[in-house]
Amino acid sequence: MINDPSALYEAARNGHRRSLGRLLSLVERAGANADKISELVHGDTGSAHIVGVTGAPGAGKSTLVGELVRLLIEQGRKPAVLAVDPSSPLSGGAILGDRIRMDGPAGTGDFARGRDTEPGIERQACFIRSLATRGHSGGLALAVPLAVRLFDAVGYDPVIIETVGVGQVEVDIVGAADTALVVVPPGMGDAVQANKAGLLEVADVFVVNKADRPGADDVRRDLNLMLDLSHMTGQESKDGYRPPIIMASALNGTGAAEVWDATEAHREHLLSSGLMAQRHRNRVRTEVRARMAQKLTTMTESILSSSTGSRVLDDAEAGITPPTEAAALLVAHMVEKAENQQ
């Protein structure tokens, strides 16, 4: 199959799903083709509602996303899902197992199968792509925002990003969405856990999942307490938005509609308060920063492997110059080189 981004993009815009699949592979691989795709989609984006879904492994994110996708298709929407799973740090391989949870309720596979199971449901209305983290630093931080823009540009709305909520990159990605859903199952700890910093701070909507299990009400209580404390310490957002807590259970088939209503309500809030533009600016800024960091990392590696780099490194390793001075020398050298190139 061809790898020309322009031709693939043209086909993907016309609904050719395999071309979109290939474009996403090019995005993942980074480099010149990915940069080209970034140029191509520029100007075609901005209409999709970008929703992040995160939570601990096993919280029920994929199952919930599967329910949401089904709901969205029934509403005539055209959702895309980017499901991120970790790569093995040892082999670089990965088992991407999110799709099986999204294959319709109870694994009946209705919509992933692309069949008209119910009248009015567009054939193959959704697009699910699994993405491995692929170890290399910052790779995910570059691939995810571009993949999201690509989905947006070819007409998918909403675009749902699912990541495991561990690690700064994953939290940043979900935090940069329009609406961040944090999925919490029962049995993950008490109110003190809920008040530790991190994941819970980025939530726009809380989902207490597996609400059929014992302890679900305790989770709701602890999250409410955490939100109350935010209010008391003045940490809640200035606009008075308080993240709702929705109880959901895939087993009982409850909560998905309420979760989506809350997600839509949050979007309305962003639009009416003018905060949507701010989210968008933050997202652009986060991506620019990640791309700069990636380029600087590449430059760092190339300076270190240059003759100057190895000379300075040798001196540092021999104890002649302290590491601080070696680093300062090399950074100065890097800046000088960059200026000469201009």
Partner 1 sequence: MSPTNESGAASEPSAPHLRVILAKLGLDGHDRGLKVVARILRDAGMEVIYLGLRQTTDSILAAAEQEDADVIGLSMHNAGHMTLAPNMINALRSAEMNIPVVVGGIVPDRDVQPLLDSGVAAVLGPGASADEVAAIVAGVVSRQAS
Residues lying near partner 1 in the complex (CB under 8 A): 1, 17-18, 20-22, 24-25, 29-34, 87-88, 90-97, 99-100, 103, 107, 109, 112-115, 124, 127-130, 132, 134-136, 139, 298, 301
- CB 17 → partner 1: shortest distance, Å? 5
Specify the residue, 9 or 127, whose C-beta has the smaller distance to partner 1.
127
CB of 124 to partner 1, least distance (A): 6
Residues 6+ apart with CB under 8 A from 39: none
CB nearer to partner 1: pick between 30 and 51: 30
Question: At its nearest, how many Å lie between partner 1 and the CB of residue 27?
Answer: 11
Helix (H) or strand (E) holding 40: helix 32-41
Helices 275-304 and 256-273: crossing angle, nearest 10°?
90
**Nearest approach, Cβ of residue 91 and partner 1 (Å):** 5
| Nearer Cβ to partner 1 (33/273) | 33
Minimum distance of partner 1 from residue 235's CB (angstroms): 40
**Cβ count within 10 A of residue 134:** 16
Beta carbon of residue 82, minimum distance to partner 1 (angstroms, whole number):
11
Q: Which amino acid is at 234?
A: G
Identity of the residue, 11 or 223, whose beta carbon is nearer to partner 1 in the bound complex: 11
Closer of 156 and 206 to partner 1 (Cβ): 156
Q: Measuring CA to CA, how many Å separate 234 from each of 182, 203, 230, 238?
A: 22, 17, 6, 9
Whether the Cβ atoms of residue 270 and residue 279 lie closer than 8 Å to each other: yes
Query: Which one, 11 or 183, has the nearer CB to partner 1?
Result: 11
Q: Which of 299, 295, 287 is nearest to 142 (CA)?
A: 287
Instruction: Please provide the DSSP assignment of 145-212 as one string.
Output: HHHHHHHHHTT-BSEEEEEES-SHHHHHHHHTSSEEEEEE-TTS--HHHHHSSSGGGG-SEEEE--TT
Radius of gyration of the chain, Cα coordinates, nearest whole angstrom: 22
Give min distance, CB of 205 to partner 1, in A: 27
CB of 38 or CB of 179, closer to partner 1: 38
Instruction: Please report how close the Cβ of residue 128 comes to partner 1 at its closest, in angstroms.
Output: 6
Beta strands in 241-285 (DSSP E): 245-247
Concatenating the DSSP letter of every residue in 280-333 gives HHHHHHHHHHHHHHHHHHHHHHHHHTSHHHHHHHHHHHTTSS-HHHHHHHHHHH
Burial of residue 13 (number of CB atoms within 10 Å: 0-12, 13-18, 19+): middle
- Token look-up 């909520």 returns 165
Output 139 or 165, the one with its CB closest to partner 1: 139
At residue 245, the 3 state secondary structure works out as strand
Nearer to partner 1, 124 or 230 (CB): 124
Q: How far is the CB of 132 from partner 1 (least distance, A)?
A: 5
